[in-house]
Amino acid sequence: MGRRTGRAGPGADGSDLRRGLPARGVNRPNRSSAAPHPPTVGQVSSDTVGSDHDTFDVIVIGGGPAGENAAHYAIAGSDRTAALIEHELVGGECSYWACMPSKALLRPAQILGAARHMPGVEEKITAYGVHVADVLARRDAFTHRRDDSSQVLWADAIGIDVLRGHARITGRCAVSVDGDRPRTLRARHAVVLATGTVATVPDAPGLRAALPWTSRDATNLVEIPRRVLLVGGGVVACETATWLRQLGVEELTVVVRGARLLPRVEPFAAAAVTDMFGRHGIDVRFRTEIRNVARDDARDTGIGRIHGGPATVDLDDGSTVEVDEIVVAAGRRPATEGLGLGAVGLEAGAATSVDDHLNVTGADGTWLYAVGDVAGRAALTHMGKYQARVCGDVIAARAEGRDLDHPRYRATADHDQVPQVIFTEPEIASVGHTAASARAAGLDVEVLEVDLAVAGSALARDDFTGHAALVVDRATDTLAGATFAGTEVAELVHAATVALVGKVPLDTLWHAVPAYPTVSEVWLRLLETRRP
């Protein structure tokens, strides 16, 4: 989720670039004192939901990017009211502890790497590595030093009431808030769950007592440990390993329970990251788990600070590693503990599931929605925002008595059309199926593969490398998936996403001519592999 630093609310050009939200007209401030609306079919009359002072049309629990988008789309261009409840920071995990700080940490080293492989520029580079203090300062600028005041101002400007505190569902369309002024809120039309996920720490002996870092510490690091043990082999773990090494961690050991890194991507892409880890001196241990951790003086010194003295870690491969910090990136769980799901007939503290209108399955009626990571679909910020846009439009349509017989009211991109970029070295950009997942889904597929060796890549930098693969559904001759692994390939994935979502036949793609000399010329090379 992009953020425009030093600017509160919508941008001066009339758009809100921080959230990817459109500049929609708001006729007047939307507040809970607005006149009540007549109930629509399936909704709750204002007479049944309590005093108007604590009554809103829409209540959103969770103030991250998904929650912000859901609230905005549900009320935009109307006199409907919305409350956004957040017990931490408005902007959520993405703004302060995930997408924004992680990419801010990764980018400087990418630029340095490009400069070091460009004749005429490399001779001017004298520093060995990045200037850590400046990198951290730039990161802090993007996170506003975990100050959410500008995002609160944005919400206020478009008529969203921001309420601080923990929320709990107490019944149909009823939510209690335990903030400075405990209160019970009522929703005329909808309650939206947008609480996200929280990091989990495995129950290995001594690990939790050692107070290891989680992703929040790693993205907000203040001190650079000299020796680190990193637990995990997924996206968060691999990106974290990348910037830790780039920022100066001298000894980095990665412990992976499985047989490979990044098990959900194409094998060639995972192998490229594994190979690069080896070149950078990162010690990756596959099929390995922690047996025991000892850290006598573990103490909570604050986010991103080393949590005590050295830790001794016994691994089940028989080795022992002494490190200055342990980083756990071994999974996340839905943040539904204490949310009150049991009050409406759902399993307390469990994951939720949703239909394509984003209504929570198992809940009575159509008043309860979930978006973002907690919805149990694609745990990616851009997909959470996408779900929220659909959800907000569904709520608005139902509130205005409109039918939902239109594609915009269904979240279909979650079904095998999800794009993702993994900002490792090399980058991995993908959408849809891998060859293996397509075949597991029963598709008859053809795989087209080439190296990323075109004029555009050669001109970009001297060490440009990479590989690309298209997974083609033989029955329709359209894309079922695409993967690009290589130097700065992130921008290649949207073309593949458009082709996949639009079900563009490969014969038609022949006429989508890539500009010369760009890296996108790889599309021509891929299509040429099918020539007789």
Q: Are residues 192 and 339 in the same domain?
A: yes
Say if 344 falls within a structural domain: yes
Residue 333 has a CB neighbour count (10 Å cut-off) of 14
Report the CATH number at residue 291: 3.50.50.60
End position of a domain, from candidates 374, 406, 438: 406
At position 446, the amino acid (one-letter code) is E
Q: Is the pLDDT of residue 33 over 70?
A: no
pLDDT tens per residue, range 499-521: 999 999 999 999 999 999 999 99
Q: Are residues 81 and 228 in the same domain?
A: no
Say if 4 falls within a structural domain: no
Q: What was the pLDDT predicted at 111?
A: 87
Q: Are residues 318 and 361 in the same domain?
A: no
Q: Are residues 508 and 431 in the same domain?
A: yes
pLDDT tens per residue, range 121-143: 877 776 667 889 999 999 999 99
Mean pLDDT along residues 93-117? 90
Mean pLDDT along residues 180-206? 94
Q: Are residues 79 and 103 in the same domain?
A: no
319: left (phi over 0), alpha (psi -120 to 50) or beta: beta
State the burial class of residue 111 (Cβ atoms within 10 Å of its Cβ: 0-12, 13-18, 19+).
Answer: exposed
Which tops the pLDDT comparison, 397 or 27? Answer: 397
Q: Is the pLDDT of residue 256 over 70?
A: yes
Question: Could you tell me the residue range of the domain that residue 483 belongs to?
Answer: 419-528
pLDDT tens per residue, range 379-429: 999 999 999 999 999 999 999 999 999 999 999 999 999 999 999 999 999
Global pTM?
0.88
Q: Are residues 348 and 463 in the same domain?
A: no
Q: Are residues 309 and 372 in the same domain?
A: no
Q: pLDDT band at 53, cuts 50/70/90?
A: low
Q: What was the pLDDT predicted at 98?
A: 94
Q: What was the pLDDT predicted at 310?
A: 97
End position of a domain, from candidates 379, 406, 433: 406
Instruction: Give the residue ranges of DSSP H helices in 117-192.
Output: 132-142, 149-157
Q: What was the pLDDT predicted at 51?
A: 39
Q: What was the pLDDT predicted at 127?
A: 64
Phi, psi of 83 (to 5 degrees): -115, 135
Say if 10 falls within a structural domain: no
Q: What was the pLDDT predicted at 463?
A: 86
Q: What was the pLDDT predicted at 7?
A: 29
Q: Are residues 59 and 113 in the same domain?
A: no
Q: pLDDT band at 48, cuts 50/70/90?
A: very low
pLDDT tens per residue, range 311-367: 999 999 999 999 999 999 999 999 999 999 999 999 988 889 999 999 999 999 999
Say if 177 falls within a structural domain: yes
Max Cα–Cα distance, the chain, nearest Å: 74
Instruction: Give the residue ranges of DSSP H helices in 5-83.
Output: 65-75
188: left (phi over 0), alpha (psi -120 to 50) or beta: alpha
Q: What was the pLDDT predicted at 25?
A: 34
Average predicted confidence (pLDDT) for the chain: 89
Say if 76 falls within a structural domain: yes
Q: What was the pLDDT predicted at 128?
A: 65
- End-to-end Cα separation, the chain, in angstroms: 44
Q: What was the pLDDT predicted at 20?
A: 40
What's the structural domain count of the chain? 4
Q: In degrees, to the nearest 5, what angle opens at C-alpha 104 toward C-alphas 98 and 107?
A: 125
Q: Is the pLDDT of residue 12 over 50?
A: no
Q: Are residues 271 and 236 in the same domain?
A: yes
Q: What was the pLDDT predicted at 49?
A: 37
Q: Is the pLDDT of residue 110 over 90?
A: no
CA-to-CA distance for 481 and 431, rounded, in angstroms? Answer: 6
Report the CATH number at residue 464: 3.30.390.30
Q: Is the pLDDT of residue 374 over 90?
A: yes
Residue 263 CA to chain centroid, in angstroms? 18
Q: What was the pLDDT predicted at 124?
A: 75
Say if 287 falls within a structural domain: yes
DSSP 400: T
Say if 411 falls within a structural domain: no
Structure tokens at 320: 């022992």
End position of a domain, from candidates 330, 359, 392: 330
Q: Which has the minimum average pLDDT: 46-60, 217-231, 467-481?
A: 46-60
Q: Are residues 170 and 227 in the same domain?
A: no
Q: Are residues 228 and 318 in the same domain?
A: yes
Q: Which has the minimum average pLDDT: 33-42, 57-66, 173-182, 223-232?
A: 33-42
pLDDT tens per residue, range 63-88: 999 999 999 999 999 999 999 999 99
The bridge status of strand 197-199 relative to strand 311-315 is: unpaired
Say if 457 falls within a structural domain: yes
Q: Are residues 517 and 453 in the same domain?
A: yes
